[in-house]
Amino acid sequence: MFKFALASMKYHKHATFIYIVFLTMSSCLFLLIDSLRESVPVLIKQTQDLIDASGYQEEKQAVFQQLHTNSQRLLLYYDQLRSWLLVAFSIIFFFLLLFYQRKKVQEFTVWYQSGSSFWNWVSLNLSECLIPLLIVTIVFSFLFLFYQHAIGKFILMIHLEFINHVNGTSPNVHLSETHTVNQLFIRFPTTNDALIASIQLTSKEWLSIFFTTLWKTIRTLFLTISLIGLTTLTSYSYWRYRHWNNSSH
């Protein structure tokens, strides 16, 4: 089945190219959002360690609580982005798959005339959807291995933009010497360079974040593609099969 799927993908190279581009762009967006979400607890922990190391004690728990509140707001925002992205991916994938099946009407007829089974056809087309996902997984695995620091800096800069957007403040941590909790200002560094300089994650920490992210993203895409693909292929192929049977009698 794997060999037949590769041959079909090669034959329909234009449709395969469009699908791979769509899948790659979607994977990039999922990986970005998941990386942002997975790295938030690590960044908060680093910020708390910096506060502890500075020897600041006055109303420290209030500072930590505000950091926690801001981080939860940020995580909620990332979750909402991911949900919208998943909905958009599902809709576009459904229509791409449907369009692709409509272009394979003649192949479908030849397939059944040759005596091949209904479920073999479904498995063949589902394999054509999942093989590119395997390729994307391998490519991103190597990218994470060889460009982890560059990707890490990019993730930090994107964090900076979203923190500005969500919290409405410049992302800088400033602890005022005051007895009033409401006068504490919790922010992150005001520039990208300051942010990157203050967050020192090791290669092991970045790899842990990236591969946890990769597993989460690929699992989501695999389940979504499998569910929508199996449902759509089964329904459409069955309808086409009934239509072909009625036409042949």
Residues facing residue 174 across a β-bridge: 185
Domain chopping of the chain, boundaries = 2-248
Residue in 146, 156, 151, 170 with CA at minimum distance from that of residue 42 = 156
With a pLDDT cut of 90, the percent of the chain lying above it is 33
Are 67 and 43 spatial neighbours (Cβ–Cβ below 8 Å)?
Answer: no
Q: Is 190 exposed, middle or buried (0-12, 13-18, 19+ CB in 10 A)?
A: middle
Read off the pLDDT of residues 203-221 as tens digits, 9 standing for 90 and up.
888 888 999 999 999 999 9
Cα dihedral sign for 223, 229, 235, 237? negative
End-to-end C-alpha distance for the chain, whole angstroms:
30
Say if residue 165's pLDDT is above 60. Answer: yes
* Residues 105 and 125: beta-carbon distance below 8 Å: no
Contact 203, 148 (CB under 8 A): yes
Q: Which of these ranges, 51-55, 133-137, 174-178, has the smallest mean pLDDT?
A: 174-178
> Which carries the bigger pLDDT value, residue 174 or residue 141?
141
Instruction: Provide the token pair at 172.
Output: 């800088």
Confidence label for 183 from pLDDT (cuts 50, 70 and 90): very low
- The DSSP symbol for 182 reads G
Q: Which two tokens stand for residue 121?
A: 């056809």
pLDDT recorded at residue 25:
96
Query: What average pLDDT does the chain have?
Result: 79
Highest mean pLDDT among 22-36, 170-184, 230-244: 22-36
pLDDT at 53: 63
pLDDT per position as a tens digit, 74-131: 899 999 999 999 999 999 999 999 888 888 777 777 777 776 677 888 888 899 999 9
How many Å apart are CA 185 and CA 66, to the nearest integer? 9
Which position has the higher pLDDT, 56 or 236?
236
DSSP string, 219-242: HHHHHHHHHHHHHHHHHHHHHHHH
Is this structure's pTM higher than 0.85? no
Instruction: Say whether pLDDT at 52 is over 70.
Output: no
